[in-house]
Amino acid sequence: MYLKTSYKKKINFSKMHGLGNDFMVIESITQDFVISSSKIKELSNRHTGIGFDQLLLIEKPYNCKFDFHYRIFNSDGNEVEQCGNGARCVGLFLILKGLTTTNKINLSTNKKNIIINFISESLIEVNMNEPIFISNSATNPIIFKPHNFSEKIINNSLLCSLVSMGNPHCVIQVESIKNAPVKTISKIIEKKSIFPDGINVGFMKVINKNYIQLRVYERNEGETQSCGSGACAAVAVGIAKNLLSNNVKVELLGGILSIKWEGFGNPLYMIGPANYIYEGCIYI
């Protein structure tokens, strides 16, 4: 974190998590600072820093239509477009810090706008907007194909479904979550030239029409305990393929999320918890 001034300055932060997907949350509404990717990487180190999957930065709204602007940085310092678990934590953070008193919060992000709604103290609903199904090819990187979105990725054999929840996801259906080669397959997929910005890879096992198990390898992060946007992507694929109902429980390594989607033309909703861990400060 590099500041405009030459002296050390105290920056307050909160450590939070959504089903084990953990975050360092900082607001720049009452605090004045400039952040750098190298400092984010330093802070994310679990041995010498704070330790987190993502840094969440809350800013004043860029547009009067929204309550706040929300930015996400992976632990490598790169900014990404979306984080479902992070959105719930941002909502709880804003309430706990007294930065808002409403139970409905309208956030703008770099790619999509999301609406947070507090169902109870322990459950938060996020309107993640409508999923966008995409297809990739070497000649035309992004082709929108709402009803035909399966691609053969590795050696023309591994069938993947590609969908955007504001950030890109590749969903693979597997027979066993425990034995899925998550790291091996994901590393091959994320390095393919058709994904120049990388891609998150989800491994989905359908238990029944209302329940799936899921493991997610997040780009530049590795496998995480939970990925909210990954859960949304997997359910969207399952519903689009008529494998799932409109209300699905998603079992991740860190816990369970509820996903609701009425299909094409409708927004998708994610419901789950957010947890406050501790508050601290750093001097820069």
- Shared domain check, 219 and 233: yes
pLDDT digits (tens, 9 = 90+) for 101-112: 999 999 999 878
Structural domains in the chain (count): 2
- Kindly indicate the confidence band of residue 134, based on its pLDDT and cuts at 50, 70 and 90: low
Q: Check residue 138 and give its pLDDT.
A: 39
**Is residue 4 assigned to a domain?**
no
Q: Check residue 189 and give its pLDDT.
A: 87
- Shared domain check, 151 and 53: no
- Shared domain check, 118 and 35: yes
- One of 89, 160, 170, 227 is an active-site residue; which one? 227
- Shared domain check, 236 and 144: yes
- One of 83, 89, 170, 232 is an active-site residue; which one? 83
* Stretch 241-247: mean pLDDT: 96
- Shared domain check, 177 and 117: no
Residue 3 vs residues 6, 24, 58: alpha-carbon distances, Å: 7, 18, 17
Task: Note if 83 is an active site residue.
Answer: yes
Q: Is 275 annotated as a binding residue?
A: no
Q: Check residue 121 and give its pLDDT.
A: 81
Q: Is 12 annotated as a binding residue?
A: no
**Is residue 2 assigned to a domain?**
no
Kindly state the tokens that stand for 182: 């998550």
pLDDT digits (tens, 9 = 90+) for 150-166: 556 666 567 788 899 98
Q: Is 213 annotated as a binding residue?
A: no
Give the domain extent around 87: 10-127+273-283
Weakest mean pLDDT among 7-11, 39-43, 142-146: 142-146
**Is residue 3 assigned to a domain?**
no
**Is residue 69 assigned to a domain?**
yes
- Shared domain check, 21 and 77: yes
- Shared domain check, 171 and 106: no
- Shared domain check, 138 and 53: no
pLDDT digits (tens, 9 = 90+) for 57-85: 999 999 999 999 999 999 999 999 889 99
- Residue 258: phi and psi, rounded to 5, are -110, 130
Kindly state the tokens that stand for 124: 């938060």
Q: Is 122 annotated as a binding residue?
A: no
**Is residue 1 assigned to a domain?**
no
Could you give the CA distance from residue 37 to residue 203 in angstroms, rounded to a whole number?
29
- Shared domain check, 199 and 151: yes
**Is residue 189 assigned to a domain?**
yes
135-156 in b/e form (b: 16+ CB < 10 A) is bbeeeeeeeeeeeebebebeee
Q: Which CATH number belongs to the domain containing residue 113 in this structure?
A: 3.10.310.10
Q: Check residue 3 and give its pLDDT.
A: 44
pLDDT digits (tens, 9 = 90+) for 221-232: 899 999 999 999
Task: Quickly list DSSP for the chain.
Answer: -B-SSSS--EEEEEEEEETTEEEEEEE-SS---B--HHHHHHHH-TTTS---SEEEEEE--SSTTSSEEEEEEETTS-EES--HHHHHHHHHHHHHTTS---SEEEEE-SS-EEEEEESSSS-EEEE----EEEE--SSSS-EE-TT--EEE-STTT-EEEEEESSSEEEEEE-S-STT--HHHHHHHHHTSTT-TT--EEEEEEEEETTEEEEEEEETTTEE-S--HHHHHHHHHHHHHTTSS-SEEEEEETTEEEEEEE--TTS-EEEEE--EEEEEEEEE-
Mention every residue, 6+ apart, whose C-beta is less than 8 A from residue 235. 212, 244, 248, 250, 259, 261, 268
Q: Check residue 165 and give its pLDDT.
A: 92
Q: Is 229 annotated as a binding residue?
A: yes
Q: Check residue 24 and give its pLDDT.
A: 98
Kindly state the tokens that stand for 132: 């966008």
**Is residue 138 assigned to a domain?**
yes
More confident residue, 284 or 210: 210
pLDDT digits (tens, 9 = 90+) for 164-206: 998 989 999 999 999 999 999 999 888 787 788 889 999 999 9
Task: Note if 232 is an active site residue.
Answer: no
More confident residue, 8 or 87: 87
